[in-house]
Amino acid sequence: MFKLLLIEDDTTLFQEMKDRLTGWSYDVYGISDFGQVLQEYTTLKPDLVLIDIQLPKFDGFHWCRMIRSHSNVPILFLSSRDHPSDMVMSMQLGADDFIQKPFHFDVLIAKIQAILRRVYNYNTEQIELKTWCGAAVDYQKNTVTNETGTVELTKNEMFILRQLIEQKNKIVSREALIKSLWDDERFVSDNTLTVNVNRTRKKLDVLGLGRFIETKVGQGYMAVEEAETL
């Protein structure tokens, strides 16, 4: 399991990113003292560093220089600023990639996977498999399998299921699902979303899993764990 060091002082964003990245089987660590980033980096020895540019005490560029003076660990910059010079500076300091906030989470994951694959010759197929309610969910093959059998989902159905699983036990709003599908170049209307969710449930019912996608009236949908539902 890869260790990621997320150097981000926005506690809300940090926790959201940590929760999402942990769902992808990464170990995510933060910084307790933004004046001692290098010391905490040295103690942790992460496999990849994600670092915001705007930080208290010293900016991300400073800490990138310090880390680069000791290590070739891959570094991915995060920034809410839209200055082209920030990206140029990041690359000049030896960063491996740059992503501007706000970003789509799938884009961040793709960048992290690409960096890890390039640096560590990592096969990302292993994190394309998730276990949910005792079933194996294969994001690449669009299949869900348990002891009962296997069902195949469409791309939209798997996309929806994936969003719910990655945020399991949390309500995902209809608006967030529609926006995610739109951002992924698969536009859906509100009614189309309902049809897709119902169709996904019906397919999962074959495996006894449909009931673990709950509708929260007026809010959205939530994937729950079997242990919490029985």
pLDDT at 187: 52
pLDDT at 222: 95
Instruction: Render pLDDT for 86-106 as a digit per residue (tens, 0 to 9).
Output: 888 888 888 888 888 888 888
What is the spatial distance between Cα 158 and Cα 181, in angstroms, rounded to a whole number?
Answer: 11
Hey, what domains does the chain have and what are their CATH numbers?
Answer: 3-122 (3.40.50.2300), 128-229 (1.10.10.10)
3-class DSSP string for 16-52: HHHHHHHCCCCEEECCCCCCCHHHHHHHHCCCEEEEE
What is the spatial distance between Cα 227 and Cα 225, in angstroms, rounded to a whole number?
Answer: 5
Residue 173 has pLDDT above 80, yes or no: yes
Quick one: pLDDT band at residue 45, thresholds 50, 70, 90? very high
- Global pTM reads 0.54
pLDDT at 122: 54
Q: 201, 164 in Cβ contact below 8 A?
A: no
pLDDT at 130: 82
* Amino acid at residue number 210: G
Half-sphere exposure of residue 203, counting CA atoms within 13 Å on the CB side? 17
Q: What angle separates helix 190-205 from helix 155-166, to the nearest 10 degrees?
A: 80
Quick one: pLDDT band at residue 189, thresholds 50, 70, 90? low
For residue 108, how far is the Cα from the chain centroid? 7
Helix (H, G, I), strand (E, B) or coil at 80: coil
Residue with tokens 């989470």: 105
